[in-house]
Amino acid sequence: MPPLPLSPTAADADRERGLTYHADGQLDRAIEAYSACLAACPDDAVALYARATAYQDLGDLAHAIVDFDRTLELRPHWAIVFHSRATAYDQLDLFDQAIADYTRAVALKPNFAVAFNDRGTAFHRRKHLDRALADFTCAIELKPDYALAYRNRGLVHDHRGEYVEAIADLSRALEIEPDQVEVHFRRGFLLARAGLTEQARPDLEIACTSPHAQIREQALEALGATR
């Protein structure tokens, strides 16, 4: 006769309650429930990781990183945890630490398109444009419909003075996700700078609807210059 399944423990119930609160956006309650689980089972890696992400969602990056660290002590092969800790380092402008963790993530999971994209962003912020370009290209090869990676690669091309390539990548990003107002602004600005005012105008008109005042003001200024 096969062994009877183990009954769920109170710690299991606390973890599941935390996940439910977390999904509902009740982060304080989620953390309380995860903490109750961890009080009984300190090595529950799932609860540790979940609590870390709840802390991160609250903006409490110090506590998030402590929990990410502990999760990785227990599960050193979880690529997603290296990626999550890297995003926390990114939020703290600790780009070298972020790059190191993104690198561990893609070493563990070579098809991790999001990690390649995010490491590319960190390289871009460090002004390592060649490395950023290579990472965004990897992300696109892994996920050909990755609009954000096209947008990001377009920005690198722009910063390298490669305006034709920049416009091509921004255009591809908009083919995939047409409602990206900020991408319309950037493409319109590049088209206007290239003297293609008729092509620039529709993008700049869309950018004038942005909820961000700075983009609206710059779009209006650029649109005025095309008339």
CATH number, position 15: 1.25.40.10
Residue 67 near residue 44, CB atoms below 8 Å: no
pLDDT of the residue at 93: 95
- Asked if residue 207 belongs to a domain, the reply is no
CA distances, 101 to each of 42, 59, 69, 72, 153 (Å): 24, 19, 11, 11, 21
pLDDT of the residue at 8: 57
| pTM summary value | 0.91
pLDDT of the residue at 100: 98
Over the stretch 57-77, which tens digit does the pLDDT of each residue have? Answer: 999 999 999 999 999 999 999
Q: How far apart are CA 141 and CA 123, in angstroms?
A: 18
Unique residue bearing structure tokens 């909820």: 211
φ and ψ at residue 179, rounded to 5 degrees: -95, 20
pLDDT of the residue at 107: 98
Q: Give Rg (Cα) of the chain.
A: 22
With a cut of 50, which residues of the chain have pLDDT below it?
Answer: 1-7
Tell me the residue range of the domain where 41 lies.
10-72
- Asked if residue 175 belongs to a domain, the reply is no
Taking each helix axis from N to C end, the angle separating 181-193 and 163-176, rounded to the nearest 10 degrees, works out to 150
- Asked if residue 64 belongs to a domain, the reply is yes
Provide the domain count of the chain: 1
Over the stretch 180-189, which tens digit does the pLDDT of each residue have? Answer: 999 999 999 9
* Type of residue found at 153: R
Task: Quote the tokens at residue 180.
Answer: 């990206």
- Asked if residue 24 belongs to a domain, the reply is yes
- Asked if residue 65 belongs to a domain, the reply is yes
Residue 59 near residue 53, CB atoms below 8 Å: no
